[in-house]
Amino acid sequence: MENSSQTAIKKRGRPSHFDANTALEQALIVFWTYGYEGTSMAELTEALGMNKPSIYAAFGNKQALFKKVLDKYTNEFTTFVAEAMREPTAAQAIHGFLSQAAVFLTNPKTPHGCMIIQGALTCSSDASAIKALLIDYRKNLERTLTLRFEQAKTQGDLPNDCNSQDLARYVLTLHQGMSVQATSGASLAELTAVIDLAMSASYLRSMR
Amino acid sequence: MENSSQTAIKKRGRPSHFDANTALEQALIVFWTYGYEGTSMAELTEALGMNKPSIYAAFGNKQALFKKVLDKYTNEFTTFVAEAMREPTAAQAIHGFLSQAAVFLTNPKTPHGCMIIQGALTCSSDASAIKALLIDYRKNLERTLTLRFEQAKTQGDLPNDCNSQDLARYVLTLHQGMSVQATSGASLAELTAVIDLAMSASYLRSMR
DNA sequence: ATATTTATTTACCAATCGGTATATAAATAA
DNA sequence: TTATTTATATACCGATTGGTAAATAAATAT
């Protein structure tokens, strides 16, 4: 704050030889792959190239690190959701969401499946707070979809007798199922076929 | 074998004060709730009322116990699948499968969600064999559904240009998503609404 | 040069992990 | 009664868990 005008600020102590952002990226891969409890601090030290005291100094404990990683995940990897919500109609928003999700969930450059689902679907009671946190994230997505469908009703591209929350839950159920499929090895083509069948639902078929 | 004609067989050593079946039932609840890695042997000893050496003597190690529990789960809790497959048409089989699954996944008397999905969706590399085992179980269910749809085609209640495996994967995706929903606290009514939307798909709508 | 600040490395902590050796208790066979 | 068999309970094993204290290294400020 006080020195923000100076571009080159000389820091006092020994310089850290890690980049916080790339460290979080590497932590993300590990948590995404093995889940919160399936990931050990030992694995993280190896993946980040940092020893434990450095990790704790930089990011806090395991829970705090996971939360920072979760932030990074939502900020950098789930932007396609907001993008899909900007589609002109509800049907297009759903199709955009699911088809982009299918690409994302099977991306060969990242772990397969959705971290918010597989990060802690079940866990020991020690990690129940993390499980609850991820459930909150999912509920949040449900709200996002619901609001978009409410908007669609006022715009007239979704029947007024359609329950927005039920539709949101249907789409989310598909997404979560697709995530399980992707984690189990399903291909993009296979998920796309699932979407094609899902999009033939009566509310949406006529609007594609 | 040699003494099967005699009803009262006197066993030699100290009698075990546990019933193997009820012990497996209790182990099932724990594994179902917390997943394979989220369950500790300490938790099992408490739940079964048996100390570790007795558990190991009776069921083998943690993996072996989990497999026995898995057997019990499939034999006693997933019989509704075969029942649904016996419905006269594909659409009825799908609806029967999903609606019975919804009841099962939200049964207040058992843990919510499907153990074959949440038992080890992700895990440490130590438990990769268990994860693979559960994926096999899911693939098996996919085959069951696919075969049922092939049969429906020959019976004429499913169009011949319908890809049976794709349809199976669609239904399974819904089931897996519903399981995630149930684990996250969704109610039977909410899952039923999801099924209603899913069943409005073109292939099935006309046949309900 | 010396002090101060910050990050690293090494070594360690108590607790828990899955698993087992040993001793004891409770039944039957002799 | 004594031996044998089987299951129990206690106590322990090395390895790993998440987390930290203490020592050291590398920078800047004085």
Which residues of chain A from 127 to 166 reach within 8 Å of chain B, CB to CB? 127, 135, 138-139, 163, 166
pLDDT > 50? residue A163: yes
Rounded to whole angstroms, the Cα distance separating A120 from A69 reads: 14
| pTM for this predicted structure | 0.93
Give residue A201's pLDDT: 57
CB contact under 8 A, B185 and A135: yes
**Nearest residue of chain A to residue B30 (CA atoms):** A124
Strand partners, B201: A201
Rounded to whole angstroms, the Cα distance separating B193 from B197 reads: 6
CA atoms within 13 A on the CB side of A164: 17
Give residue B194's pLDDT: 97
As a whole-number percent, the residues of chain A with pLDDT over 90 amount to 88
B164 φ, ψ (degrees, to nearest 5)? -60, -40
As a whole-number percent, the residues of chain B with pLDDT over 70 amount to 92
For residue A127 the two structure tokens come to 């990690």
pLDDT, tens digit (0-9, with 9 covering 90-100), for A117-158: 999 999 999 999 999 999 999 999 999 999 999 999 999 999
pLDDT, tens digit (0-9, with 9 covering 90-100), for A185-195: 999 999 999 99
Average pLDDT over residues B69-97: 97
Q: Are A19 and A63 in contact (CB under 8 A)?
A: no
The helix (run of H) or strand (run of E) holding residue A205 is: helix A202-205
Q: Which residue has its C-alpha nearest to nucleotide C9's C1'?
A: A51
A36 φ, ψ (degrees, to nearest 5)? -65, -50
**Residue pointed to by tokens 């895990």:** B123
Give residue B201's pLDDT: 57
Residue length, chain A? 208
- Residues from chain A that touch B135, judged by Cβ atoms under 8 A, are 184-185
Give residue A164's pLDDT: 97
Average pLDDT over residues A179-205: 87
The answer for residues whose C-beta is within 8 angstroms of residue A174's C-beta and 6 or more apart is A98, A194, A195, A198, B173, B174, B177
**Nearest residue of chain A to residue B194 (CA atoms):** A170
Nucleotide nearest to B50 (CA to C1'): D8
Rounded to whole angstroms, the Cα distance separating A6 from A24 reads: 27
A121 φ, ψ (degrees, to nearest 5)? -65, -50
Give residue B69's pLDDT: 98
